[in-house]
Structure 1
Amino acid sequence: MDDDLIDGDGLSLSRKSRLPGEGFFYPDSLDEEYADRRAREAIEGAEVVVVADGDADGLACVALLRERYDAALDVAPFEASLAARTDPSLGADEADDDDADREDSPVGLVTAGPHSLPDALDRVAAYADPGVDVYVCDLCPDDESVTEVVDAVVERADRVRWFDHHQWDDEVAAAVHDAGVDLVVGESDEECTADVALRSLEYEFPDHLADLAAVTRDHDLWIKADPRSDDLADYAHWASAEEYVTVVGQYGAALPDPVVEYLDERRVEKERLIEAAVDRAELRSVGPWTIGVTYGRCSQNEVAEALRERGADASVIVKPAGSASIRGSEGFERCHEVAGQVNGGGHPRAAGCKPDIYEDMLDYAHHWTTEGYATRQVILAAFERVAATDPVDE
């Protein structure tokens, strides 16, 4: 395949909005090989291993843990890379080399999502030195099947602690706890996982990291009272995990000028992609609710906010890669129930899923050319089933 066909920088915004990113077109086998190599590099020789979600909440936990173990990386190389990215006089090699002149932290980081969590824990069991401390942050297992690999990690480690705030099944939580894990799950509508880590770790954290947890909560629980929370969310999405952890570990939520300049530059296109998704949205009535439905590569929170202003109780943002984000409001706090019916999960007001309806590339081609029609219908049907379970509750 010609590289230019999947190079997003060469596409018009309209086409870029409708197609997945470059990484989608790489085979899973290559992704697995890359993930295994990176995980092994982070795990082998580490005194502490953290398996965390790669969003702002999960990575804030890593920043707290590196502070706790006095294992933060030097921020200077990352700041130099950031400055280079906004300076047109520097070449791409200088601007994009996030790992240049950077040492490894004794607190190793492995990022994972709910579906890749078993693989990440498998790698910890395989590569970690005996007697390490292991932390799992901001991740909730799909079912009890994860306990087999949890047993292997517990056998390898000196201590395993798990911090989260998602909606856990009671039997899954009991199984993880019985395996020997110190599991702490906060209230999903009151705390983010960084809050849970902050209060659970035996350490007097500096004020800037306590503030980081508070601002992360503002974003993760969709409170939207602190404008800095959008900065954290965007930065976590666009930066490498190591860069984000190192910079917020140093500065907290008061991001330095090079980060602010970088975010301002990236947001020009971000806003255009948001506008494209909002423009193609439609409102549908399902049971007692008004559901906003749209399609596109975009920032789902801002799109959902725009659809709420149009009267949506909940929003569904279908992505070109086949997944979807579901966002709620005060009038709809059952996103996790809807996602749970479509191969996903999450929180009452924020969840994600990927319907199991893609058998080959023709299905994806249909997905792109119809702007996610089949996925929309599957998720709307899930809303209908949730409405049928308690039609007068909302």
Structure 2
Amino acid sequence: MPRKRIVRKARQAPHEIIRFLRIETTGGILLLIGAVLALIAANSPLSDLYEQIRHTYIGIEDVFMLNVQHWAADFLLAFFFLVVGLELKRELVVGELREIKKAMLPVIAAAGGVVVPAAVAIAIAWGEPGGADVWPVPVATDIAFALAVLALCARSLPSSLRIFLLTLAIADDIGAIAMIAVLYSEPQFIPLLVFVVVIALWFFLQAKRVKSLWIYIPLGLAAWVALYEADVHATIAGVALGLATRVRPDNGEREAPALAVEHALQPFSAGVAVPIFAFFSAGVALDGEALTAFAADRVALAVVAGLFFGKMVGVTLGAYAAHKFGWGRLAPDLKWGDILGVAILCGCGFTVSLLIAELAFTDVAQQDLVKTGVLAGSTVSALVGAAVLNIRSRAVRRERSAA
């Protein structure tokens, strides 16, 4: 191969990697790889090293110290939530959530996908130690993983199905974020006031069209530290910063700041932040003793049932009620079989469900059982949802061939 061609390909490689990380299926695949590697590490001779690494403290002594697992959950995951916040702002201002009638069907479906899984989890875990704490765990949908499965298994289905899932997952995440803020935070006034001031300054600078990253990066870090010191889960800083970012481009502006930042951060979120979080959060023991304990633990089984049955029933009934009573409008090219497949797929809790499991359960043994429930429920939902969507996709291809 000529030397110039080798040099050109070497220069193109980083751009190709970034382009690959922006593909929807990539984030879900890397998330799955991170979770699988965590399970391998936790159930192999490397388990002691794995535990030692994730409980190693990093930071400045007597100033700011977190262990590796908390850095992944509190800091790296803030980038994921920043991308979610930017996408939410874009959908609210210029996207599907801007039109009330279109937005209401997936939003009401998302509400069903929060209420029913919570009710299923409470019903199954009622009376058990920790049973009252389990209900928030199965209410979340992992956007990256669900969209990745949809992209792989529903290529022949209408693009409006992806919009339905995306809108539903965003509305779902709003509920999950609100739960994290309300249930697992005891706000301290002064740091919270600092956080509000920083967000207001961010919003003001956006309104004044200030574009220097050397201003926004320190402000973003200040917002994160202030919220952490306020005893509010610091990942919410990402959502707040995303919502405070300008989403409409000015005349002559190639793209608005929200889209530019989302475009820049999405590869890092999908390729680094979420997989590392999965690696340090999904490592639970799956030996015979652990699986026996899991099978006998009603709290962990409540998570499985909430993610699979609760999401399937809640999302489907919510969408049907919205359509039946005229609160929302189902896209004309969608069938109820498509909605059922997506409803099952919404049981992929992964990222946010694992985070809530860590926040809801301080007992390590119970936390590991609940995390096993998250992994089991998400896996079953992904496999069954993929199968239903694949059947629907093949049916659509047959109909097109016959026409």
Report the TM range for the smaller structure's normalisation. under 0.3
Tell me which protein shows more helix as a share of its residues.
Answer: 2
Greater RCO (CA < 8 Å, at least 6 residues apart): 2
Tell me which protein shows more strand as a share of its residues.
Answer: 1
TM-score by length of 1: 0.25
TM-score by length of 2: 0.25
